[in-house]
Structure formats: structure tokens, C-alpha cells
């Protein structure tokens, strides 16, 4: 981090999250990913966000690798949460603060959503706070010294 720029925080959104706003708004809310990005940029003007979404697991592994040396990573892996050992392994050896975020309360839904294979590889998990969960995750990363 140079004195001229703020901390870089990666916000990584996985499979099907590109459809936010249209996809099951009663569960995931009406905000689109663009709305969430704007919300974070407004809320944290000094943070240099790298905001990404992909439906391809290998591309997500690449994004996680790109985050090496950043202030931290916020990741909503979507359904990959529940079965992607590849994302677990990509995250586990990275030493910056890492937060797993879910818009919905995955513990109050279908049984298969209660288990995350990603959680053991991150520092914190936020679920059920909607878009505000991303704000909480960024605040946590900054509190860990990223900003």
C-alpha cells in the first residue's frame, strides 16, 4: 500500500450472484451487484475495491490468487460454498484477512446450505445481513489493520 492509495480489498462473488436483483428477491433482496458495489464505494471512499463476479470456479481461484498481498478478501461463493474444496484450498494458505459472506441466513434454509466447506479457510463468516453483510466484512478487514 503506497501513501497515495488506500488499502485494496477484493470483493469476490461467485456462481449465480450476477443475477442478484432478479433472482429470488424475497431471499436475496432487490439490490443488484452493481448496487452493492456502489454502496461499498460510497461507504468506504478510501478503500480501493477490486469487485469481481464469475460463474466459473477456476476463474474464482484466479481472483483469489490475485488478492495475495491485498488488505483482505470478502467472498460470497454462492452455491460453491457447500461443495468447492478447490475454493477452500485456494483460500486456506492466503494470509490476509478473509471473510465469507452470505446475503441470506443459510442456517435457516435447506439443510444442505448449513454446511460450508469454505468456512474453515476464512477468519469470519457473515450470513443473513443482506448487502450490509459486505459492509460488516469490509469493516472487519479494516479493523484487522488493512486500513
**Active-site residues: which are they?**
28, 102
| Residue number with CB closer to ligand DQA (78 or 97) | 78
- Strands (E) in the chain, as ranges, are 8-15, 48-53, 72-78, 98-102, 124-127
- The 3-state DSSP class for residue 17 equals helix
C-alpha distances in Å from residue 65, one per residue of 12, 72, 73, 89: 12, 12, 11, 11
Q: Can you give the binding site for ligand DQA, defined by CB under 6 A? A: 16, 76, 78-79, 81, 102-104, 106, 113
CA 15 to chain centre: 12
| Residue number with CB closer to ligand DQA (73 or 103) | 103
What are the two backbone dihedrals, phi and then psi, of residue 98, each rounded to the nearest 5 degrees?
-130, 130
| Residue number with CB closer to ligand DQA (70 or 81) | 81
For the bound state, the minimum distance from the C-beta of residue 129 to ligand DQA, rounded and expressed in Å, comes to 10
- Distance from C-alpha of 34 to C-alpha of 48, rounded to nearest angstrom: 16
Amino acid at each position: 500500500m503506497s501513501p497515495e492509495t488506500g488499502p485494496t480489498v477484493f470483493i469476490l462473488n461467485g456462481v449465480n450472484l450476477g443475477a442478484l436483483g432478479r433472482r429470488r428477491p424475497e431471499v436475496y433482496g432487490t439490490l443488484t451487484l452493481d448496487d452493492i458495489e456502489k454502496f461499498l464505494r460510497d461507504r468506504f471512499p478510501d478503500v480501493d475495491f477490486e469487485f469481481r463476479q464469475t460463474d466459473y470456479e477456476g476463474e474464482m481461484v484466479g481472483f483469489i490468487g490475485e488478492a495475495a498481498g491485498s488488505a483482505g478478501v470478502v467472498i460470497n461463493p454462492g452455491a460453491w460454498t457447500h461443495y468447492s474444496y478447490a475454493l477452500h484450498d485456494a483460500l486456506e494458505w492466503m494470509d490476509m484477512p478473509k471473510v465469507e459472506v452470505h446475503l441470506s441466513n443459510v442456517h435457516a434454509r435447506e439443510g444442505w446450505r448449513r454446511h460450508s466447506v469454505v468456512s474453515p479457510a476464512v477468519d469470519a463468516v457473515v450470513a443473513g445481513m443482506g448487502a450490509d453483510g459486505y459492509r460488516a466484512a469490509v469493516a472487519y478487514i479494516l479493523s484487522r489493520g488493512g486500513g
